Amino acid sequence: MYSNNLETLFLVWFAFVLSLTAHAFGHLTIRNSFGGKKKDKSRDSRNPFMHVSVISMIVGLLFGFMWAKPVFFNNRLEKNKPVSRQIAFHLSGIAVNLFLALVLTLFRFIMSKLFGRPVEFEVGMDQSAASMFLYRQLSCLISANLFVAFIALLPLPGMDGFNLLWVFVEKKGIVIKHKVLYSIKAVTLSLFLVFLFYSALHYRYPVFEQYQVLHTLLFGQDTVSQVVFH
């Protein structure tokens, strides 16, 4: 059943919206620097709605799974150019997420040194609600950025890890027919959709639950970790 802690759900959901936006904007920045799609200027905005669809946001609130709008990169046009360009594009989103996680961790550390580290779930603690909320949101943003970066590195169709693997396969001269590639993507996507549908029927948060494992490892039980989404 759904968690009754709506504040925690909002913190996690908001962190994922910003993390996915940062990931997509990283890809767009590198692609545009290579002279990518000029007609896609609307995506140059830092507005989350330009990078994460409304449907994705709603699905995130209901079922704990979100995705960013794809950033297309024509690998065929890059074949006669240094392979480093393709690698830079596919790693750019991950790099932005890791950079933000590092910066936010530093900011969180400075904040704890200047104002003290909020202690939650203890009766009688006289703490500012605003500082508590900010501290928790920073923690969620750090772990969400790391989680998005980790998921993107997986060698699964549609993920940056798979695209990087494909770049190296082509570099080795291994030829795989596009029909085979499309079949692999179709089967993987179908299995993933079945998993999400099964999770939705059982009122679970399939991805947010996995995210919470990482969050607990990073921050223990001091922020959103005591709320379990299942």
In tens, the pLDDT along 95-117 reads 999 999 999 999 988 887 777 66
Name the strand (E) or helix (H) holding 179.
helix 178-201
Highest mean pLDDT among 27-36, 49-58, 122-131: 49-58
Tell me the C-alpha to C-alpha distance, in Å, between residue 127 and each of 87, 111, 119, 131.
Answer: 46, 14, 8, 8
Interval 213-230: pLDDT, tens: 888 888 876 555 544 343
Position 106 scores a pLDDT of: 93
Alpha-carbon distance of 20 to 34, in angstroms, equals 22
Alpha-carbon distance of 192 to 16, in angstroms, equals 19
Say what angle helices 129-152 and 83-115 make with each other, to 10 degrees: 160
Tokens 């030829």: give the residue. 175
Highest mean pLDDT among 78-87, 158-167, 201-210: 158-167
Residue 149 has pLDDT above 80, yes or no: yes
Alpha-carbon distance of 121 to 156, in angstroms, equals 39
Instruction: Return the domain boundaries, the chain.
Output: 6-219
Sequential DSSP letters for 69-84 = PP----TGGGTTS-HH
Specify the range with the lowest mean pLDDT, choosing from 21-25, 72-76, 156-160: 72-76
Please enumerate, as own/partner, the contacts of 84-87 that have beta carbons within 8 Å and a separation of 24 or more.
Answer: 85/34, 86/163, 86/167, 87/164, 87/167
Query: What band does 122 get if pLDDT is binned at 50, 70 and 90?
Result: very low
- Locate 11 and state its tokens: 């913190």
- pTM metric for this prediction: 0.79
Tell me the C-alpha to C-alpha distance, in Å, between residue 106 and each of 91, 109, 112, 138.
Answer: 23, 5, 10, 10
> 203: which residues sit within 8 A by CB, 6+ positions away?
1, 2
Residue 70 has pLDDT above 50, yes or no: yes
Q: What is the mean pLDDT of residues 17-23?
A: 93
Average pLDDT, the chain: 76
